[in-house]
Structure formats: structure tokens, C-alpha cells
Chain A
Amino acid sequence: MRYLPKSPADRQLMLREIGCKSMDDLFAPIPAEYRLNRDLKVPRQMAESEIIDYFRQCAETNAAGYAVFLGAGAYHHYRPVVIDSLISRGEFFTAYTPYQPEIAQGTLQAIFEFQTMICELTGMEVANASMYDGSTGAAEALLMAARITGRKAAVVARSVHPEYREVIRTYIQHQGVPLSECGYLQNGRIDMASLEKQITADTACVLIQSPNFFGTIEDIPDIADLAHRKGALLAVSIAEALSLGVVKPPVEADIVSMESQSFGVPLGYGGPYAGVLATKEKYVRQIPGRLVGEARDKNGKRGFVLTLSTREQHIRREKATSNICTNQALIATMATIYMTVYGREGLKELAQQNLAKTSYAAGEFAKKGKVLFQGAPRFNELVVQTKEDPYQINERLLQNKTIGGFPLRKFYPELGNAALWCCTEMNTREQIDAAVKAVAQ
């Protein structure tokens, strides 16, 4: 086996040193009746060339070279090549969690920069080193709010990504957190009158998403004001991180949970991505996950360490803020490189391009069908309602190597033949025109 650096003679010599006659002696602690005396039923040992052939065949039976109009929590953006070039350095990708800071300053400084950039973009004061993804981050935000307020209940907007809401329900099912969902208005924004009624004296948290699942940007100051008046916290989930290039950050929120996939992370059939939690400094001791902080060595030199770990499971065990241990460090590093490449001006310019593409698409779709949720701003997604079943439309589009919008009926039956379309800088005018034409057929 080509990964194993031992000759048969090495093995014999080592066995002799240990005082064993054969390998079997080493496995004597396993009772004989449970020893496996056959080969595992896995593919036979393959050459590297065969492995590449196998996966190439798999990749070829997956869509490639299609125009993609899907968003819905996973966004198709251009990935600068320096990202893979840098994270392919073994010093980044074959390192462990930086528990030994003297030989892990590379990872630690990268994460410190990640935390800083997330704070700058979200308007929060502290950010953690990453969560698994946006959906689990949203669930952790809600549990964190319950710890801070000492209250139990939560109100979640129905315009939060449906799969995020499913994950939240899974996480809270044994935490005794009563959950209610708050509907949306004609303009796509949360129903404030209903929200006001739903927030009670036991509400720890209002969780919204902005831009929400329909692409609509919520009125954060108003929602924060309402939640705060009733003693609840506001948690804002952001699924499309690039929106922060042109959309005001949710500074009025108490907790921001963001999915960073848009920042240079491949779509990768749904993962790995990287969530991140950000909050106000006063809540830092309730944040789950790892935190990197600045420290000084004996000579006063600046360095970075994992810090405030008394919140975490390896110290606090069942009283920890979360059970999370492994996070998404390398993906956070990818996002850090992406944010560095585009930076202060580029993220804005790129977000403006997304805005322009979607605005153009909305104008074109409106000529042929109905664009729902008018009257509130949107970022790079829009909901198009058609007479025809969107699944049928999408079948037709596939013939032209185009993947159409995400049919909403599965999660929002009340919207009927509506689909969620996403336009990023990757969608050319030509693609948009062709898609609109096919929809209108």
C-alpha cells in the first residue's frame, strides 16, 4: 500500500522489538469471536490513475457547463485561483487545530483576520472562528439567545431558509424551546403586526434572515426595535454573505449568524461550507465555538492563541455553550483569502454587479410573468410566478443546458407556481435573456 512507509523487514524488526511473534499478537485484546476473518467488502486497491478515472466518470454524469440560476442558500460566484493555490499548502491543510500556538501562528493569524473581517462586514464586535454552516449557526444563535436572556421561547420568520428552520427544530427539540413561526407580507418582508403579537415575555429571540429566502432585504432597525422593546434579542441570519458589499450591516442585531460560502467556497454539492457567529462584546462568554485572541510571548512579541476556552466542551463538558469541537477552519481561511482579494472596494463593486444583474433579470421577467414581492429592496434573488409549473419550465431549460430557478412549492405551497431565481456575476445577459425567453414559451 503506497501510503504506508514500511518494508516487510521493518515490520518484522518492530514486532521482534515489541516481543510479538506476529501481527495477530497485537490484536489479541479483541476477543476471537469478534475478529473479522475476511476481506472488507470495499473496492479493491486501485492505482492513482484508476481513482482519477472513477471520479472523472462520476463528475461527467454530474451537471457541468450549465448556466445556473439556483441560489437558495448556495451561491455561484467566481473563485479567484489564488484561494486554492494558497490553501493547498500542506502547512494549512494538513495542520490540526492550533492548540500549540508556538507552531500554529499561521492558522491562528489567518483566523484572527477572519474574525476581524467578519466584524467589519457584519457590524458586530466579536466573531468566532467558524461554525459548521449557516443552518447550524442559526440554531446555535437561538440557543445562545436563550442562555443570555434566561428566556426560553423563540420566534423564527417563515422567510428564513426552510432547511435552516428544519435544523433549528432538530437542535431545540429537547431544549424545551417553544418555537413559533412568523409569516411574510406581500412585499416579502416579515409581518410586523403578527411578530408584535408573537413576542411574549418568554421570548428570548427573534430570528430573521436578510436578505431572506425570497431575496428580500428586511427592515432590520424596525424589527430590532420591536424585539428589544419586549426584552428579546434579535438574531439575523445571512445566507448570501456577498450582500454585505452593498447592504447595510445589521448593526442593530444582537447576534449575526452568517454562511460564508459565497466568499470563495465551491458549491461542492452542499459542503463543506463555513458558518460564523458574531455578536456584541458583552455576550462573548455565551458564544459557542473557538475564538482566537491576541497574546504576547515572554519577549513581548505579538502572537495569537485560542482563548476563552472555558466556554467549550473540553473544559466545561456538559455545561459547555455547545458540543462543537471540529469547526470549518480551512473554509474560513478560504473566505479570508477571498475577502482579502476583493477587499474594501471589490466586495462593493462585485455586489453592485450582482444587484445590476438581478435588477435587469427582474425587469425582463416582469415583461413575461409576474415578479412577486415588489415594494421592498432585494439583493440577487427574485421570485417569479408563472402560469406553467416551474418543474416543467426547468425541464425545458435543461435541454438548453440551463438550470432554472428553485421551485418554491415544496416549502411554500401557498406560492403555487413560483420559483426563486438567482443572478450573480456569473450569469451573462445572454443567459438571462435566454432563460426569460424559455420561461415565457
Chain B
Amino acid sequence: MSDQDIKKATRHVNQNEALIFERSSPGKKGYRLPPLDVPEVDPKKALGDCAREDLGNMPEVSEMEIIRHFTRMSTWNYAIDLGMYPLGSCTMKYNARVNEVVARLYGLAEAHPYQPERISQGALRIMKTLADCLLDITGMDAITLQPAAGAHGEMTGILLIHACLKERGNPRKKILIPDSAHGTNPATAAICGYAVENLKSNAQGMVDIGALAAQMNEDIAGLMLTNPNTLGIFEQEIHKIADILHEKGGLLYMDGANMNALVGKTRPGDFGVDVMHLNLHKTFSTPHGGGGPGSGPVACKKELEPFLPKPIVVEKSDGTLGFDYDRPKSVGRVRMFYGNFGMHVRALAYIMANGPDGLRQTTEDAVLNANYVRRKLEGDYELPYRSASMHEAIFSDRLQAQRGVKTGDIAKRLIDYGFHPYTVSFPLVVPGALMIEPTESESLEELNLFVDAMKAIAREAAEDPELVKNAPHTTRVSRLDETAAARKPVLRWKPATAQPEGESLSRREEVAVER
């Protein structure tokens, strides 16, 4: 491999850094408390047997070391701020800085959830305004902002379906889930007490309408459908799907993970969806933060409204906003307080920065980018479904696998070219899937670099498969042995006496500088 081939990435030194516990020594401090203005209390006297002796191996380090420790670690991460992050179904888009600024404004960041409503009008106004925006975006009638993430929203939505059908007389036993669905869908159905029935897709990668009609019966509570689905394909017969369900008394749940393909162009409420969740951390640009926090509002049609989690924000007769707890049919609370409010602030700031025109353009650019990547790579990688792509393009590794190069290898090799990998081996209906979602945040130049990298890897897979199979070659750690890690899990650090080998190794690492 010559660095000349790699247009985007260049190696650079980043420092090693031990675990914070390995930096710690008694007497170092990173804090100073103000003097106590009330009499001291002896914890042993105050707490008796409940008093704690000491805090074990908690670290003792200075502020300077803390800054270096976490800053160094941060340099080992890839991030959207560094480049394209084309994880399919994850919608890794730009996280605007103004969102971070407004979420930290004093009156919002320091608001206690139980402070009186009268002095919480600003926070309530934000929640209400966001709720109204999301209702028009989805075309639904009512909404809760309480769920903390997508899967949490799914659970809320399926609980609504259960409650609604129960009131109609029978909550039913099963939920239909397409074979291309995300794993949270079946896991959610199980939590809500439903059995899962698999729904096969047709040769175009869409729901097989005939199969659905044959499978649908009075035992089935609903269908959990992602649209566009995880193949990036819009379910063109969506209204037929809704009709088949509704005719037999079922309800249509839409997983909104791929809403970035639809905002401002079409509305789930208009094409027959009864209840859905949104991922504010995908479509509405709240940061993923290395795995969370997210936020998963659930929007529904009128009939499901009485069952929404409590409380909901309402406008009172005097024009002020407040919470309505008096909701006897509610499925209950899914989280304490009102949800991940800080994410609501950021999502609203994102909507305001875009406006109706910006949101539409965003969707168009997201779909344009995916189709551009698809067109540019379709000769080099196998396209398992030829149906039109929306916001993501799904390839398979069939061509490369003939030389023993799998989707996971191609993904690792992309790292050497300075890109985060696409989503690997998902959806499960495509063997060896490469799921690419560029989002709207990529310029033509960045897309071209990505396309060049993918084409170069396709060449390498043909000419020098070992190069790809052993990638990445430029990262601070090479492929980690995940099998060994799972066989004998080490899930926490322990002091050197209990772990002599780890201690000697960490010392060695501290003095070494990355080559």
C-alpha cells in the first residue's frame, strides 16, 4: 500500500494514554471545595453502620492530567466532524454548534423538572413548539416526547397499539415484522407481550402484498414497518399495506429510523400509518455522543391519543402551558420526568435553522447523495435489489467474496482511506450487505473521495485480497480479538496486584509513541 493511493487520510502521531486508574496516585487533586458554612458533621455519628470507610480505587489526579487524559482519548475516535460517516440507517449528519449553545443556556440547562410550571414556561414552550413541528412533519394528530431513544419509542408505540386494541375488545397476540427489520423491532414486540411473526419481502425488496394479505388475520395486532425500509426502498404499495391491516382490525406502526428520506416530501400520516416514532438523533441532528443520548418521540392518530404516556404538554385556558396528568387511559409513564429535554431543544434549533425550504432541500440532498454513490459504485459492487434507492444504497460483497474478501474486510479497509465504515452485514436479508447512507451533509468532493476509495478497495480485493483482509493498517490498534474478549470478559480495571500482566503492559504502552 502506498500512501499516494490514499487521498484523504494521512497518518499522524497521537499519544498513548493509560487508564485513568493507572495515572492515579494518593494526594493528587483535581478539585477544591469552598469552605463549609455550616458545622461539620462526623459521618460515623450521622450514619452509624451505614457510614462508608473509603472509596476503593477511585482515581486521584490533577486537573491538567484530566484534560490531557480525555483529550488524548478523544483523538482516537472517528467523528462526523472529521469526515463522512456513512452508516446506513444511522443518519450521521452534521451536528450544528448553535444547538449545543442553546441547550446550555442557563435557564434551560439548570431547570429542575419539578420547579413550578409558572416558572417553566420557556421549557414548556420549546416542547410544545417542537411537538407542533413534528406533528406537521409526520402528518399525525398527537405526540409524546417522553421516550428516550428509538427502541424506547417503539415500545411506547406498541403499548399504544395494545391499549387501543384492548379497548376495541381484543389486544391480539402477534406482531408482523419484515425480515429486513432492525433487531429492536422484534425485541420490542416481545417486551410488549407479543409473539413475532416474520413477513417475507418480495424480489423487489418490498413487502409482498399477497403474502401479507394471506398472513393477516384477527390474531395479528399490527405490522412494524420501516419506510423507506432497511434496503433504502420506499414501500410503494404502502397504502395497500395499511388497508390490508385496517380491514382486519390491525394497526400500522412505522419505524421512523429512515425519516431523513421523507421530511417535507411526504407524510406517514397521509399514507396510512397509525403510530410511529422519530429518532431525533438521526433525522433531527441531535448528536449521537458515542452511543447516546437519543430521543424517540412517538406520534399517532387521534384514535390512539388517549393512551399516550402521561403527562403531555397542553395549553391551558389562561394561555399558559402546563402538564396534563389526568389521562385515565394512558399506558403509563415510560420514563421519569418529560424525556430527554436537552435533545428537544437541539431538535427544535435544527428545525428553525432549516425552515420548510431547508428541510425539503435536506431530504432532497440526502436522496441525491445516496443515488450518486449508488450510480458510481454499481459496476464495482453487486447491487442485490435494483429498485430505486431513497436515502441509502445497499450493495453486497458477492463479487469480492469470490476472492475471500467480505463486507467486514472492505469496511475495515475504508478506515485506511479516512472514512468511517458503512453499516456492515445489515439488513440480514442481503448476505454480505454494505449499507451506505451518506446523508445530506457530504459535499460532492467528499463523496467523490469516498467513491474513489471504494473503487480502489474493489481493485485491491481483486489484486491483493490479503491487503484488504488484514486492514486496517494505519490505526493505533489493529483488529481486536473480539472472540477472546467475549470468552473471558474483562469488564473493569483491577489494581496491579490482581492483574500483574496488565500492569507491566500498560507501563510499556505509556513510554511507547505510535509509530
Contacts and interface: CB of A to CB of B under 8 A. Distances in A.
Contact of B340 (A48, A272, A313): A272
Interface in B288-314: 288-295, 309
A121 B58 contact: yes
A235 to B, nearest CB: 17
Interface stretch (A147-155, A195-203, A291-299): A291-299
B354 interface: yes
Interface residues of A, number: 201
A300 B73 CA distance: 19
Given A35-B266, A51-B353, A291 B489 contact: yes
Which residue, of A3, A5, A51, has the highest number of chain B Cβ atoms within 10 A?
Answer: A3
A120 B54 CA distance: 10
Contacts of B103: 268
Contact of A284 (B107, B114, B489): B489
Interface stretch (A94-102, A223-231, A366-374): A94-102
Contacts of A105: 73, 76-77, 476-477
Contacts of A30: 234, 236, 262, 265-266
Contact of B421 (A100, A309, A314): A100
Nearest to A175: B193
Interface size bucket, B side?
35 or more
B491 A14 contact: no
B335 A59 contact: no
Interface string B65-85: 011011101111111111001
Contact of B290 (A52, A174, A333, A394): A333
Interface in B397-421: 411-412, 415, 420-421
Which residue, of B115, B121, B505, has the highest number of chain A Cβ atoms within 10 A?
Answer: B115
A293 B332 contact: no
Given A62-B107, A121-B58, A97 B288 contact: yes
Given A70-B115, A112-B493, A328-B293, A296 B481 contact: yes
Contacts of B441: 3-5
B372 A96 contact: no
Interface string B211-224: 00000000000000
Contacts of A357: 38
Contact of B112 (A15, A68, A133): A68
Contacts of A13: 444
A361 to B, nearest CB: 8
Given A100-B420, A340-B61, A428 B37 contact: yes
Interface in A152-197: 161, 163-164, 166-167, 169-171, 173-176
A4 B343 CA distance: 21
A320 B120 CA distance: 39
Contact of B191 (A18, A322, A341): A322
A272 B95 contact: no
A295 B485 contact: yes
B431 interface: no
B337 A269 contact: yes
Contacts of B486: 293, 307-310
Interface stretch (B44-52, B244-252, B452-460): B44-52
A324 B149 contact: yes
Contacts of B444: 6, 10, 13-14
B76 A313 contact: no
Given A31-B236, A86-B74, A267 B356 contact: no
B201 interface: no
Contacts of A330: 287, 289-293
Given A174-B162, A246-B52, A27 B265 contact: yes
A299 B37 CA distance: 55
A217 B47 CA distance: 9
Given A42-B133, A58-B122, A328 B55 contact: no
13 contacts: A26-B388, A66-B119, A80-B31, A89-B74, A96-B291, A126-B492, A269-B108, A270-B337, A294-B491, A324-B151, A330-B287, A331-B293, A353-B36
Given A27-B364, A106-B290, A267-B111, 19 more contacts: A2-B353, A3-B96, A4-B365, A40-B263, A89-B70, A93-B290, A95-B288, A97-B288, A104-B77, A105-B73, A105-B477, A126-B491, A269-B113, A295-B481, A317-B196, A343-B58, A350-B33, A377-B46, A398-B119
Identify the 9 closest CB pairs spanning chains A and B, nearest first.
Answer: A330-B289, A270-B337, A174-B193, A45-B355, A90-B81, A59-B107, A329-B291, A58-B122, A270-B113
